[in-house]
Amino acid sequence: MITGAQKTLCALLARALFGVSEPLEEPDWRAVMEEAQAQSVTLLALRALKPEEIAPEVYQQWEQRANQMLVNNLRVIHNHALLHRWLTEAEIPYVILKGCASASYYPVPEYRQMGDVDFLVSPDDVSRAGAVLSAQGLSDWNEPHECHVVYKGKTMHYELHYGLPGMPAGKPGERVKALTADLLEAAKLNENGEMLLPSALHHGIILLLHTCHHLTGEGVGLRHLCDWAVFLNSMEDSAFCELFEEKMKAVGLWQFAKVLTRCCRQYLKCPAGAWADDADLALSDALMEDILAGGNFGKKDQQRINQAYLISNRGKSGVSEGSLLKQFAASMNNVVYTKWEKSKKWKVLLPAGWVWFGAKRAVQIAQGKRPALSGTLLQGAAERRALYSRLELYQPNDPQ
């Protein structure tokens, strides 16, 4: 059930993104503020709020949080521009993923809450790009991952990608790779000439992959939905469908795109996307409740990251149809494959990997670095899996 505070927050976002002004109820404004924080839309929502609409003490606290977000956003945007200068001088082709790429579609890009700098280079340029970052004083985090290397500094966090996050398996993955083969070549400078952003086609694909990846993992929040809403609103419906419909049907993401779009139209009052009005209303309502219940990357329900091991392999093959135990085994195998690449060849290493990485996770839980397992783990995983299976993730119209 969606609360009054959540409805008010959605109304504020509709006002901020699309200028839709509807009468606001008189909710618990502190609850609205906390919800905005959990959904990573603190700054965006506040900028749509008039001081006289809210108690002064709550507005002041909200404004303090929003100002901190704005300072962080400006720093991250500056880091994007630095990256462009470094890689351009080194003659390394790249493109920004998410972050400023998503922000560029917002009415005020600085109001989109930022995290780190995600960018993609050719696999052949990973070493050179890493050397460029190292020369700027950033250090390799040395954390094995299937598609990126993390470089960190005191005020910088760069994810150097050599593959798209959330790339699906099998035939859908092959089709996504074909659609994004020219991603680097098609990148274009933003209006200020400070960074290279993906084309509209590539950005839409990246958004869908990223949202699917995290939805079936720790969860997504309203920030992800806002990213999709403003992108939808950047083009006419006919142009959007012409660009995406057949391609996403072939990948198995058109149903997902329709349900996301209906959520945007119903809850964020997005003017674009009438082509999705025939999407299942009950399914869009259920997805919206799931988004609100989890918060951005599971901020409101940290148990979701544990549930993810029972739902899918990060969504890459859709949602598991087997037992929870079978999916857990597949997820653990994927952890070992990612952390110990040699285990892909030497399967005998898998049991040792289960023990090693399972023990490591147990220590992290004991230290409070990871959420502890709870009694809601199995029930929550089963409920989420039942919901996500209705989205038909990565089930192409021509599955052969």
- Do 117 and 203 have their domain in common? yes
Q: What's the pLDDT at 324?
A: 73
Q: What's the pLDDT at 375?
A: 64
Q: What's the pLDDT at 140?
A: 84
- Do 128 and 186 have their domain in common? yes
Domain boundary among 298, 325, 359: 298
Measured CA to CA, the distance from residue 267 to residue 6 in angstroms comes to 10
Tell me the CA distances in angstroms from 243 to 109, 268, 275, 336, one per residue in order: 24, 23, 13, 38
- Cβ atoms within 10 A of the Cβ of 234, count? 14
Tell me the CA distances in angstroms from 47 to 4, 9, 39, 67, 330, one per residue in order: 20, 12, 15, 11, 44
Residue 280 inside a domain? The answer is yes
- Do 353 and 231 have their domain in common? no
Q: What's the pLDDT at 259?
A: 97
- Do 187 and 220 have their domain in common? yes
- Do 281 and 141 have their domain in common? yes
Domain boundary among 279, 298, 317: 298
Average pLDDT, consecutive stretches of 10 residues, N- to C-terminus, the chain (400 residues): 91 95 81 95 93 90 95 95 96 95 96 94 95 92 76 90 89 94 96 93 96 89 97 97 96 96 97 96 95 88 79 73 74 71 73 74 74 74 88 79
For residue 86, what are the contacts with CB-CB under 8 A and spacing of at least 6?
Answer: 132, 133, 136
Q: What's the pLDDT at 197?
A: 97
The number of domains in the chain is 2
Residue 397 inside a domain? The answer is no
Which is nearest to 290 in space by CA: 394, 392, 390?
A: 390
Q: Provide the CATH number for the domain around residue 222.
A: 3.30.460.40
Which residue range(s) make up the domain with 346? Answer: 304-389
Question: Which structure tokens are listed for 364?
Answer: 């992290």
Beta-strand relationship, 148-152 and 139-140? antiparallel
Residue 398 inside a domain? The answer is no
Contact 222, 41 (CB under 8 A): yes
Measured CA to CA, the distance from residue 191 to residue 171 in angstroms comes to 36
Measured CA to CA, the distance from residue 287 to residue 318 in angstroms comes to 16
Residue 400 inside a domain? The answer is no
**Crossing angle (nearest 10°) for helices 350-366 and 324-339:** 90
Residue 69 inside a domain? The answer is yes
For residue 392, what are the contacts with CB-CB under 8 A and spacing of at least 6?
Answer: 252, 255, 256, 318
Q: What's the pLDDT at 102?
A: 96
- Do 294 and 308 have their domain in common? no
- Do 57 and 183 have their domain in common? yes
Strand partners for 335: none
Domain boundary among 298, 320, 345: 298
Q: What are phi and psi of 15, to 5 degrees?
A: -70, -45
Q: CA Rg, the chain, in Å?
A: 21
For residue 293, what are the contacts with CB-CB under 8 A and spacing of at least 6?
Answer: 300, 301
Q: What's the pLDDT at 222?
A: 97
